A = this chain, B = another copy of it.
Amino acid sequence: MRTIFATAFLLITLCFAAFAADEWNTLDPKQVASGYKLEPVANGIWRLRFGTPEKFTPTAYLRSAPIAEKALSEMTAAPKMPWKAANIHAYKTARGTAIELPMTKDEQVYGMGNNIAFFNQTNRRSVIRASDMQPGPVGNQTSVAQEQNDAHAAVPFYVSNLGYGVFVDSARYLSFYAGNVAMVKPEPTPEAGSNELATDVETLYRPREIADKVMLIDIPGAVEGADIYIFAGPSMGEAIQRYNLFSGGGALPPLWGLGVAFRSKTQYTQEMALKLAKEFREDKMPCDMWGFEPGWHTKAYSCSYVWHPERFPNPAEMVKEMNAMGYRVNLWEHAFVNPLAPFYKEMIPWSGNYMVWGGLVPDFTTPEAKKIYLDYHKEVLINIGIEGFKIDECDNQPMSPKPWSFPEASRFPSGMDGEIMHAMFGQLTQKLFDEEYRKRNKRTLNQVRATHALASPLPFVVYSDMYKHEDYIRAIGKSGFCGTLWTPELRQAASAEDMIRRMQSLVFSALTQVDCWFLDHPPWFNFDRNQNNAGKRHPDSEMHQKVMRDLMNVRMTLVPYLYSAFMDYHYKGIPPFRAVVTDYPKDKETFNIDMQYFVGPSLMVAPVVAGQNSREIYLPEGEWFDFWTKKKYTGKQKIKVDVPLENIPVFVKSGALIPLAEPVQHITQDTCFDLTVHVFGKGDQPLVLYEDDGETFDYAKGQQGMLKLSWQNGQGFAAKSGTWTGSPRYKITSWQHWE
């Protein structure tokens, strides 16, 4: 399966091995230093155990799939540890466990969860902590939460551009100090600089250059010890792959999950939703998923899980009607159980000792809480055809003096404390639903506001209530460092330009969702929140609707390519959305690129935010084609391009084959995509398309076909293999070659 991505890895591997050979040594499982134990886990993965880990760790409680050992065994054989084991140090204090790993002077590290505000984690302290990122009730604390590394996806995993990864198997509020702390030296080098006495705090307090760098991992609360896992590369991308395969591989959404999603307003009745859903079909607005808020959070902001009787007199009937129109129905909720929930009293003994918005916090590590919660959901919701959930509010406000969520000092029936529950709550809820849908042999795609480690197999996309477009773009690329997916949802907009620019980014993300939870009408009716809710149609609404429809159709053309990218995620752990540095970790120019990212093997997207008339784009080595104009560019240079509103800059790597489909309104089991295959440059990078029912797990039992697209001697080939017995998923109508 030689995609261009795999080839890139290979090249990098060779460079790197030469570059850093003296830093590495062959794995010897008997190597022990500072009292820790190093054990191989799978090909290129080691566990470093120091003391005795805590009970409530991610590996013990958050795993949703077994280690993908077979896929791992097919990767580079016998890779090396990134450092000499003797250079690793660990120690315990009454506070917890500290682990010191070597770092080199110019090394760059990435990941540590998906904090949306900054990109590169080098030379700073990053705390791992789930947070809603909202300003608290007293003043504005967002920027500080962001600076501390608060995130919706708070994942204690990082990768180095030297080609390795480290996962800390802890759900604590742990910190990484990536090269910004200095260890004691008996013979320190005197600090360079003038003898002048400074009289300003900025100068006195300035961070100093540190000669012997170290990565200090501070795990408070892990007072008896902790495990970390070390992932070899040899490239950075392979280290990420190994982490995702260690997690069980990437989630495979149903085909319809790659279409367009829409969420209607909190106050919508079933008639209003059905009416709008019909209009979408009439207006040819592509849409596969429809989200509802069932109105079960009146008064207190905890949930009763009882449909609002006036707004939704017959939910089962409504779901049927939505399904008949080709929509998959998704429901908003969070797991804080209001006293009006039918199972409130039953849940009390299986909940934490503190409440959130007057609701219980169930301990989903207990079979009892899972059963009570899920039995009700199955009977009342899943059985009537609900195919997904939006799980809200499962993060926290760790920096707030008046946090809305439960205190870290809470205790839960399983013995878990509130700090760990904050890390795990979102993912435990995901697992609950994931297990149920798997039992039903139903793939699904959901949303969630907080996730933690080993999350890649879970079909949940992370979102935010923060709304800065730059942050949302940054988060798409960063999501690839931490085994999560991200959607830069569209809600209201500051201008038509802002709406269009946001939609463009959204098309090139894991979930193209227009979220109208506080809007009476879709944003193309009016992008302004107040005017929208006042029923004032924008004078250009028809034109806006057309632009949005066209963009949604762009998304629909990409579905086969995206499905292939998700298969690479699923089988090989390659993130379908990832930062540029992931593929070019030796190129200094990529170290801080946060406004460009890769989609699948060969598309590099460079979104634009409102107000930009041109933007700088870095093209790494090789040749690149403009996705829209097919103009060719030489790589290893920064280019400045004009960015007219109609197009988001997208570049195709030379050699790639990009199949584009005739857009459909929504995807069914029988959808057959009419494809034009665009061949760029030599076209020497084949692409595999996948055929299956697109909705179940039957592909894993053999019901899957492959269509390998390749280009040889000026001609396209589509070679079928596999065991798919259903009707064909793809029909190639033409090949177009661009040079």
B191 touches A300 (CB 8 A): yes
Q: Could you tell me if A355 and B183 are in contact, using CB atoms closer than 8 angstroms? A: yes
Contact A267 B184 (CB under 8 A): no
Chain B residue nearest in CB terms to A360 = B184
A94 close to chain B: CB less than 8 A: yes
CB under 8 Å from chain B, chain A span 139-187: 139-141, 143-145, 147-149, 175, 177, 180-186
**What's the Cα separation between A299 and B206 when bound, in Å?**
12
Contact status B94-A54, CB under 8 Å: yes
From B205, B357, B406, A404 is in contact (CB under 8 Å) with B205
Residues of chain B within 8 A of A182, CB atoms compared: 354-355, 358
Given contacts A195-B299, A358-B208, contact A136 B141 (CB under 8 A): no
Q: Is A190 an interface residue (CB 8 A)?
A: yes
| B355 A218 Cβ-Cβ under 8 A | no
Q: Are A191 and B299 in contact (CB under 8 A)?
A: yes
In angstroms, Cα B137 to Cα A4, docked, is 41
Residue A26 CB within 8 A of the other chain: no
Q: Is A200 located at the chain interface by the 8 A CB criterion? A: yes
Beta-carbon contact of A216 and B348 below 8 Å = no
Within A389-438, which residues are at the interface with B (CB < 8 Å)? 399-404, 406-409, 411, 415-420
Q: Is A51 an interface residue (CB 8 A)?
A: no
| Contacting residues, chain B, for A730 (C-beta < 8 A) | none
Q: Which residue of B lies closest to A399 (CB)?
A: B144
> Complex: how many Å from CA A353 to CA B418?
31
Chain B min CB distance to A718 (Å): 49
Pick from B149, B348, B409: contact of A93, CB below 8 A. Answer: B409
A139–B147 Cα gap in the complex (Å)? 8
Is the CB of A11 closer than 8 A to any CB of chain B? Answer: no
Contact B148 A518 (CB under 8 A): no
Query: A419: which of B134, B184, B220 is its contact (CB, 8 Å)?
Result: B220
Beyond A409-B218, A411-B98, is A190–B339 a contact (Cβ under 8 Å)? yes
Q: Taking A402-B180, A404-B205 as contacts, is the C-beta distance between A417 and B93 under 8 angstroms?
A: yes
B-side contacts of A91, CB under 8 Å: 411
Within 8 A of B (CB), among A84-140: 91, 93-96, 98, 123-126, 134, 136-140
- Provide the bound-state CA to CA distance between A419 and B180, in Å: 17
Contact check, B197 vs A298: say whether CB atoms are below 8 A apart.
yes
| Cross-chain contact A94 with B407 (CB below 8 angstroms) | no
Q: Which residues of B contact A629 (CB under 8 A)?
A: none
Cα–Cα distance between A258 and B186 once the two chains are bound (Å): 44
| Residues of B with C-beta under 8 A to A409 | 93, 95-96, 98, 175, 216, 218, 220
Q: Tell me how far the C-beta of A306 lies from the nearest C-beta in chain B, rounded to whole angstroms.
A: 13
Is there a chain B Cβ closer than 8 Å to A474's Cβ? no
| Nearest-CB residue, chain B, relative to A295 | B197
- Please pick, from B134, B140, B143, B197, the residue contacting A293 in the complex, using a CB distance under 8 A: B197
Check if A518 sits within 8 Å of B417, measured CB to CB: no
CB-based contact A207/B137 at 8 Å: yes
Using Cβ atoms and an 8 Å threshold, which residues of chain B touch A125?
400-403, 407
Q: Digit string of A439-462 for contact with B (CB within 8 Å is 1, else 0)?
A: 000000000000000000000000
With the chains together, A418 CA to B183 CA distance in Å? 13
With A125-B400, A400-B125, A402-B125 as given contacts, are A417 and B95 in contact (CB-CB < 8 Å)? Answer: yes
A197 to B402, CA, bound (A): 22
Residues of B within 8 A of A299 (CB): 190-195
What are the residues of chain B within 8 A of A199 when measuring CB–CB?
Answer: 265-267, 517-518
Can you list, as one digit per residue, whether each of A313-354 has a CB less than 8 Å from chain B (1) or not (0)? 000000000000000000000000001100001001001111
Given contacts A182-B354, A190-B339, A419-B95, contact A204 B301 (CB under 8 A): yes
Chain B positions within 8 Å of A739 at CB level:
none
Which B residues lie within 8 Å of A417 (CB)? 93-95
Q: Would you call A539 an interface residue if the criterion is a C-beta within 8 Å of the partner chain's C-beta atoms?
A: no
Q: How far is the CA of A197 from the CA of B517 in the complex (A)?
A: 11
- Please pick, from B96, B138, B205, B345, the residue contacting A186 in the complex, using a CB distance under 8 A: B345
Q: Does A201 contact B (CB under 8 A)?
A: yes
Q: What residues on B are CB-neighbors of A300 within 8 Å?
A: 190-191, 208
Whether B126 contacts A353 by the Cβ 8 Å rule is no
Chain B residue, CB-CB nearest to A267:
B197
Q: A465: nearest residue on chain B (CB-CB)?
A: B201
A190: chain B residues within 8 A (beta carbon): 299-300, 339-340
Chain B residues with CB below 8 A from A218, complex form: 407-409
Residue of A54, A124, A465 with most partner-chain B CB within 10 A:
A124
Known A-B contacts A93-B411, A147-B138; the reply to A181 vs B406 at CB < 8 A is yes
Do the beta carbons of A401 and B124 come within 8 Å of each other?
A: yes
- Give the residue of B143, B201, B418 whose beta carbon is less than 8 angstroms from that of A140: B143
- Asked if A221 is an interface residue, CB under 8 A from chain B, the answer is yes
Bound-state CA distance A301–B197 (Å) is 9
CB distance from A171 to the nearest CB of B (A): 11
With an 8 A cutoff between CB atoms, is A714 at the interface?
Answer: no
Q: Does A521 contact B (CB under 8 A)?
A: no
B348 engages A188 (CB within 8 Å)? no
A56 at the interface (CB under 8 A from B): yes
Task: Find out whether the CB atom of B56 lies under 8 angstroms from the CB atom of A94.
Answer: yes
A205 to B402, CA, bound (A): 10
In the complex, whether A223 has a CB less than 8 A from a CB of chain B is yes
**A196 in the interface, Cβ–Cβ < 8 Å?**
yes
Q: How far is the CA of A357 from the CA of B404 in the complex (A)?
A: 39
Residues of A453-500 at the interface with B, using a CB-CB cut-off of 8 Å, are: 465
Any B CB within 8 A of the CB of A55: yes
Would you call A297 an interface residue if the criterion is a C-beta within 8 Å of the partner chain's C-beta atoms? yes
Cα-based distance from A420 to B96 in the complex (angstroms): 12
Other 5 A-B pairs with CB < 8 A, given A124-B402, A218-B408: A134-B205, A147-B400, A190-B339, A198-B301, A199-B517
Show 9 residue pairs from A and B whose CB-CB distance is below 8 angstroms, ordered by the A residue.
A91-B411, A95-B419, A185-B355, A197-B298, A198-B301, A199-B267, A199-B518, A204-B301, A207-B404
CB-CB nearest 10 A-B residue pairs: A218-B409, A93-B417, A199-B518, A144-B144, A98-B409, A95-B417, A191-B300, A141-B144, A124-B401, A182-B355
